[in-house]
Amino acid sequence: MSIVRRVRMICLSTALLVAAAGCGPDPAPAEPVASLPTQAVTQLVADLRRNDLAGYARHALPPELHARLETAWREGRTTWPLTELPLHDRFPTFIAALAAQNAERDLVASFRRQFAGADGELHSAARTLGVFAIQYVRSEAVYSDTERDHHAQLIGAISQWAQTTSLGDSAKGRAAIPQLVSAARATGLAAPDAFAHNGMDRSLRRLGPFVERLKQVLGGYGLDLDAALDSVDVTLAEQTGDTARVRIRYQLAGEPVDAYVLVERRQDRWYLSDVLRHAQAEVEAPPRAASAAGQQAAWARAVANRKSAPPRPAAGKVEAARPAATLPDAGKAESGKAEAGTAEANTPEPAAKAEGSQAGAGKAANAPTPAAAQPAAKPGANSAAPAAASKPAAAAAAAGPTAAAPPKPR
């Protein structure tokens, strides 16, 4: 092959390679880096605006801490950054309840029974919960001073919105519940171990569409979260070396919010200091403390199941309040009549009590009667003996001399 033909082949091959590279998919855009203190805030705001929870987790933490939290997720020890939300321990249960079979029918029926037309009660509850939540945030040691101020303003704005919107509107409720049910089922996170099985990154990506639908539902009630995120204005208040203070201002449900956040630089990137602190605490928490959210969710389910259980047979107030062993004595104390003692004596006792020793019976007879079990009048010589002494005596007399004798030592 001549030199000219070889040069032609080389040029043709190079052209084909360049053309193939140009026709291929575009390379993934580089991950943005928060190189300025204000960018640490605007980057996270943009992630929330796009409902990109997985991006929020990547941008909020250094890579090493993010990897440790991914491991903690898969071990079931945390659900950060969901732990930054109120009632975060109920969030998996919330998704499971919405995705349950017949959830739409059951939740609509529950809404009609408990909330439909109850705007007055709901407004009062929103006011009370707002006051309680603000007091809790201001006294809880886990929050920094900047967090207390910011969260108090957030709670106040949301409480004010809840006191003015029609939360008991039947038409809105019937329209909102099916949307949330379908969005929760689409996450695929309704199983008890779904969050741990999918891990942090995948779980957060699955929750993105659900958050988007939740925003739309809240928008129908007048709470436009996307508008609040769009209104965020970020300015640098002060900077000293690798730490800075950033001012954020925005409008939430028509209420102005003006607060500060602390940021710090790690490996040429800026992060929110409080977010780093909370994430570090989650990943370093012992297994028992980190799994408290799951325990509380299970407790909530147990309480709900107990409330839905069929009612027990009716019993007196005293019987419901005292242990079963002291019910006869309590009834005797309330009545103060000799018939109670007679009824007790006629009640069959278990065989185990008939086999008690005389020493044990003597101790029970000489023990002082509790105040709740003493009769109204002081018993005379012919009065019935206290129940603690009459039961062993009656049982021993019925069993005969053999049972009354002390047992032989083993």
Tens digit of pLDDT for each residue in 172-195? 999 999 999 999 999 999 998 999
Residue-level pLDDT at 114: 92
Greatest mean pLDDT among 120-124, 246-250, 325-329 lies in: 246-250
The tokens for 69 are 């939290």
Residue-level pLDDT at 327: 38
Section 336-362 average pLDDT: 42
Q: Residue 259 — very low, low, confident or very high, per pLDDT cuts 50/70/90?
A: very high
235: left (phi over 0), alpha (psi -120 to 50) or beta: beta
Residue-level pLDDT at 33: 81
CB-side exposure of 286: number of CA atoms within 13 Å? 2
More confidently predicted of 157 and 33: 157
Residue-level pLDDT at 32: 73
Residue-level pLDDT at 304: 52
Residues 6+ apart with CB under 8 A from 376: 333, 336
Residues 6+ apart with CB under 8 A from 170: 111, 112, 116, 117
The tokens for 393 are 């005596």
DSSP run (H or E) holding 359: helix 358-366
Q: What is the pLDDT of residues 34-71, one digit of tens each?
A: 899 999 999 999 999 999 999 999 999 999 999 999 99
Q: Please enumerate, as own/partner, the contacts of 332-335 that have beta carbons within 8 Å and a separation of 24 or more.
A: 332/373, 332/375, 332/387, 333/372, 333/373, 333/374, 333/375, 333/376
Q: Say if residue 342's pLDDT is above 50.
A: no
Give how far Cα 285 sits from Cα of 74, 77, 279, 289, 374, Å.
15, 8, 10, 6, 52
Cross-strand pairs, 238: 245
Q: Say if residue 366's pLDDT is above 50.
A: no
Residue-level pLDDT at 280: 96
> Rg (Cα) of the chain, in Å, rounded?
35
Section 115-123 average pLDDT: 92
Q: How buried is 50 (Cβ within 10 angstroms: 0-12 exposed, 13-18 middle, 19+ buried)?
A: middle
How far out from the chain centre does Cα 62 lie?
27
Q: What is the pLDDT of residues 224-235, one digit of tens each?
A: 999 999 999 999
DSSP run (H or E) holding 249: strand 243-252
Q: What is the pLDDT of residues 212-228, one digit of tens each?
A: 999 999 999 999 999 99
Q: Say if residue 364's pLDDT is above 50.
A: no
Q: How buried is 369 (Cβ within 10 angstroms: 0-12 exposed, 13-18 middle, 19+ buried)?
A: middle
Q: Say if residue 330's pLDDT is above 50.
A: no
Q: Say if residue 302's pLDDT is above 80.
A: no
d(CA 145, CA 280): 19
Residue-level pLDDT at 283: 93
DSSP run (H or E) holding 329: helix 327-335
Give how far Cα 269 sits from Cα of 47, 59, 62, 265, Å.
17, 10, 8, 5
Q: How buried is 402 (Cβ within 10 angstroms: 0-12 exposed, 13-18 middle, 19+ buried)?
A: exposed
Q: Are 260 and 245 in contact (CB under 8 A)?
A: yes
Q: What is the pLDDT of residues 79-110, one digit of tens each?
A: 999 998 877 778 899 999 999 999 999 999 99
d(CA 51, CA 43): 12
Mean pLDDT, the chain, integer: 75
d(CA 110, CA 119): 16
Which of 393, 344, 322 shows the shortest CA–CA distance to 364? 393
End-to-end alpha carbon distance in the chain: 112
Q: Are 47 and 53 in contact (CB under 8 A)?
A: yes
> In this prediction, what percent of the chain has a pLDDT beyond 90?
57
Q: Are 280 and 177 in contact (CB under 8 A)?
A: no
Mutual orientation of helices 170-187 and 103-114 as an angle, nearest 10°?
150
Q: Say if residue 13's pLDDT is above 60.
A: no
